[in-house]
Chains A and B, each alone.
Chain A
Amino acid sequence: MAEKPKSRRNSLAAGRKELREVVETCDAISERKFNPFFMDVKLGVNTLRQYFPYWENFDDHCLDAHAINRLSEVVRLQNTQLKFQSSALYADPDFIVRKVERMSEKRLAEVFLQSWHPVAELEHLTEGAVTDALGYWNQLLPIEERWKRREYARGKEPSSVDAKALAGLGIQGEEFGKQLIRLWNELRGQYGDKHAPVEYWAFVKGASYSDTVQRAYVVSFLVTYGYAKLRQEGEQMTLVPEDQPSEKAPSGGVSFPIPIPRES
C-alpha cells in the first residue's frame, strides 16, 4: 500500500519531465533546428494520453494543453513540408550545400543571373528630401568655421611610444598588472565577509577626475577578464569580486559603456 503513492509521485514527475521534453522538441522544430518529421507525433500524443490521469493541478493541465498546441504546430509544419516537397521548388538541402561547395563562383553567379529580373526604378528628389536638404544647408557653418573646429578637434598628431612609456602610463606591463591586482584586492576587502555588493561609483571615485577615470579604466579590465562582476539594478551599478577569476574574456559578452561625468 505504501508503494502506490510513491509510484504515482514518480509518474507525475516523469510525466512532467516528458511533456517538457515534448514541448522543447516541438519548439526546436518551430525554430527550424530540426526537420518536422523528427518528431513522432503519434508517440507524443500517446505520451500525453499516458500521463493525463496523473495530472493534479492547474499547471499540469496547462502544460498538457501547451504540449497539444505545440504538437499541432508540428503537424502543421509536417503538412507544409509535404506540400513543399511535392512542389517544383523542392531540393534536398544537403544536395544544395554540396552543389554550392563544388560550383565555381562564376557558375553560381550565372545561375542566379539566369533567374534574376531586377526592378527598374529611378531615384529622384522629393519635396521632403529638398526640405531636409535646405534645412541642413541653412544650418551648415561656413567652410572656414568648420576647418577651425577640425583643427581644434584634431589635437596632437599620432606618434609612436615604446613599451617603457606604456608601462609608465600604466597601460601595459607589470605595472598595470599590479594595478589590477591592487584594485581587485581593494574590491575584495570592501566586499568583505558580509558579501555586500560594492557600489560602482563609490568604488571608482578617486581624489581627482583623472584618478576616477584611471580607476574606472582598471575596473573595466577587472570586469572584462572575470575578476569582478558588474551588476545593474535600475540606475544603481554594483561590483562583486570573483574569488577565482577566469582571466579570460567571457564569450558572448557585451560592451557596456559608462560615461564618467566631470562631477564624479
Chain B
Amino acid sequence: MESGQTQTKSFYSDKLKRAIHLLVFRRGKMPGAKEWELKEKIGRNYEQVLAQLNELLAELDLEVKKVTEPRSEEMSTDAARVGEDEARYFVALKGTMGVKEAKMIGWRIDNLAALSAALAFLISKQGKAPREDVEKLLAQKFGRWKAVTLADIFLRTGYLDEDDAGIMSLGWRTRSEVDLRALMTRMAEAKL
C-alpha cells in the first residue's frame, strides 16, 4: 500500500514539474501552453494535474488561467463559451499589485493610465474602435505625439490589436490579464 502511495505521489510530482515548466517558461511568441501541448506532454488527466498545481500556486498568489480567442465579435467573460481546442493555459497573478510594484516591474504610471483609458474606451465600444478614435482619446490626456507612441506600445505588447482597416480591438494580453468586468465597474465607480 505504502509503495503504491509513494508511486502515485512521485508520478504527480513529475507531472507537476512538467506542467509548471510548460506554463512558465516561454517557448514561442506567447507565454503559457496550449491545451493540446498539455495533453501531449502531461497526459489525458492534465486537468487534475493543473488543479493540483493551482492549489500549490495559490499560496504564492498565483493561479493557472485558461483563456481562448473569442469566436465572434461578441464580448463575453463567460467561461462556458471557451473553445476547448483553442484554449491556452498560463500562470498569472491571482491578486493585484500596487502602483509601486507596477513601477518596479517597469511600467510608467502614465502608460498604465493610458492603457486603462484605451481599454475602457474599447470595451464601451464593444471591443472595437477605429485607431484614430483611440488616439484622439489618448491625445486629450497625453498629447498627440505621445498618443501615437502609446498606441504602438500597446499593440507591440499585445494589449491591443489592429486589423488592416485600422480598427483596434482588445489584444490577447488584455483577454488574458485584465478582468474586464472589474475594470468597467471600477471605472464607473471611480471618484474624480
Spell out A's residues near B (CB within 8 Å).
31-33, 80-81, 83-84, 87-93, 95-97, 99-103, 105-124, 126
Which chain A residue shows the least CB distance to B125? Answer: A93
B182 touches A114 (CB 8 A): yes
A110 cross-chain contacts in B, Cβ below 8 A: 99
Q: Is B82 an interface residue (CB 8 A)?
A: no
A119 touches B91 (CB 8 A): yes
A90 cross-chain contacts in B, Cβ below 8 A: 124, 184
Q: Which 4 A-B pairs have the closest CB atoms?
A: A112-B116, A108-B113, A115-B182, A109-B112
Spell out B's residues near A (CB within 8 Å).
24-27, 31-32, 62, 65, 73-77, 90-99, 102, 105, 109-110, 112-117, 119-121, 123-126, 128-130, 137, 140-141, 165, 167, 173, 176-188, 190-192
A122 cross-chain contacts in B, Cβ below 8 A: 24-26
A31-B165, A102-B192 known; A120 vs B183 contact (CB < 8 Å) = no
B185 cross-chain contacts in A, Cβ below 8 A: 88
> A140 CA to B176 CA in the complex, in Å?
40
A111 cross-chain contacts in B, Cβ below 8 A: 116, 120, 183, 186-187, 190
B124 touches A108 (CB 8 A): no
A118 touches B92 (CB 8 A): yes
Set A33, A88, A124: member contacting B130, Cβ < 8 A = A33
Inter-chain pairs besides A91-B188, A108-B113, A121-B26, 18 sampled, C-beta below 8 Å:
A31-B167, A32-B130, A32-B167, A33-B130, A91-B187, A100-B140, A102-B192, A105-B113, A105-B141, A107-B190, A109-B102, A113-B102, A116-B93, A116-B97, A117-B92, A117-B177, A118-B92, A124-B25
B96 touches A113 (CB 8 A): yes
Q: Which of A81, A118, A119, A120 is the most central at the interface, judged by chain B CB atoms within 10 Å of its CB?
A: A119
A119 touches B141 (CB 8 A): no
A96-B120, A121-B31 known; A103 vs B181 contact (CB < 8 Å) = no
B94 cross-chain contacts in A, Cβ below 8 A: 117
> A110 CA to B99 CA in the complex, in Å?
7
> A82 CA to B152 CA in the complex, in Å?
31
B92 touches A108 (CB 8 A): no
B179 cross-chain contacts in A, Cβ below 8 A: 115-117
B177 touches A119 (CB 8 A): yes
Q: Which of A31, A99, A102 is the most central at the interface, judged by chain B CB atoms within 10 Å of its CB?
A: A99
B181 touches A80 (CB 8 A): no
A100 touches B120 (CB 8 A): yes
> A120 CA to B32 CA in the complex, in Å?
9
A91 touches B96 (CB 8 A): no
| Minimum CB–CB distance for B79 against chain A, Å | 15
> A41 CA to B40 CA in the complex, in Å?
50
